[in-house]
Amino acid sequence: MALVNHAKKEINAKIVYYGPAGSGKSTALTYIYSRIKPSLRGDLKSVPAGADNLLFFDFSPFETPLPHGYRVRLHVYTLTGTVTNPATWKMTLKGTDGIIIMVNPAAEHAAETSESVSQLRDFLSAYGTGLHETPAVLQLNSFTHENKPDEVAEIEAAVDLAALTTCRSNAACGEGLLEALTILSRQVLDRVNAKEQQEKQAGHTEKPDLAGAANAPDSSLPPHSATQADTRIISAVHPSVVEPRVTLMSKDFPVEGSTIRIPLEIQYGNTQSRLVVTVSVTSE
């Protein structure tokens, strides 16, 4: 579950781009990073992860804080190229709040797609969760514009992912990449909000003991203290703070050129307000 720190008014969530080598994960991250305003993003970093390579960055989807000062930060990860050690994927997926499953829809890649999704299920199962219990988007990524009839339904059925939202993208030009991330981000924030409401209704007002709560990072991955990537995600609830409820007023985000508008309803105690958050992306 995402880290929600009410004392610092921070919401941090981890998103992983998962898929076989050559499916376009690195291309997607590089393109998305280039479209985010520099003032809203951290550095794009590529570091060794054992024998493999980890690519990651973090960014804020909102230019200004939400009402009452809350800020959202998304931390995006993937492994590049051919992953030699499956355990590296497993550690990269630890604590993930959302997954974009990138696959090549071409028929010749069907076997590797099935194997990759099956392996993903095994990794998540090791953490006591399932793929259908995790916010996820199936992204059919092609470097051409050729789309076959019934292709989406066939792939969804082959990997048993018909319940997921499926998006098409073209990594060669970046088409569909931002849209898929926007959909997944919405799912992740919906889940954060639902979890917060469950805890509120259950009367969880006792402040947890945070001393030593986070597990140490596994040595197969580099430490990233700023992103909480390899630690147990902690939900820090401050007993004296009234928790705001953030609700998406629409599941469809209007996209106008490089601008995305997100309609929100904020309830804070007995106060309710509505606003539209504008997210602008730019090409450098």
Q: What are 130-187's pLDDT values in tens digits?
A: 998 999 999 999 877 777 778 899 999 999 999 999 999 998 899 999 999 999 999 9
Q: In the chain, which ranges are E strands?
A: 3-5, 10-18, 45-49, 52-59, 71-79, 98-103, 136-142, 165-170, 235-236, 245-248, 255-256, 259-268, 271-280
Give Cα 47 distance to the centre of its chain. Answer: 20
Distance CA 282, CA 33 (A): 10
**Does the pLDDT value for residue 261 go beyond 90?**
no
Closest CA to 172 of 10, 28, 17: 28
Q: What is the CB-side half-sphere exposure of residue 51 using CA atoms within 13 A? A: 6
Q: For residue 180, with 0-12 CB atoms within 10 Å meaning exposed, 13-18 middle and 19 or more buried, which class applies?
A: buried
**Residue 77 in contact with residue 57, Cβ under 8 Å?**
no
Interhelix angle for 110-126 vs 151-158, to 10°?
A: 40
- The model's confidence at residue 9, banded by pLDDT at 50, 70 and 90, is confident
25-35 vs 177-201: helix crossing angle, rounded to 10: 80
37-41, 213-217, 246-250, range with the lowest pLDDT = 213-217
207 vs 94 pLDDT, higher one: 94
Q: What is the pTM of this model?
A: 0.70
Delineate the domains of the chain, giving CATH numbers in brackets: 3-187 (3.40.50.300)
Cβ atoms < 10 Å from Cβ of 272:
11
How many H helices and E strands in the chain?
5, 13
Residue 216 has pLDDT above 50, yes or no: no
CA angle, 27 then 224 then 197, to 5°: 90
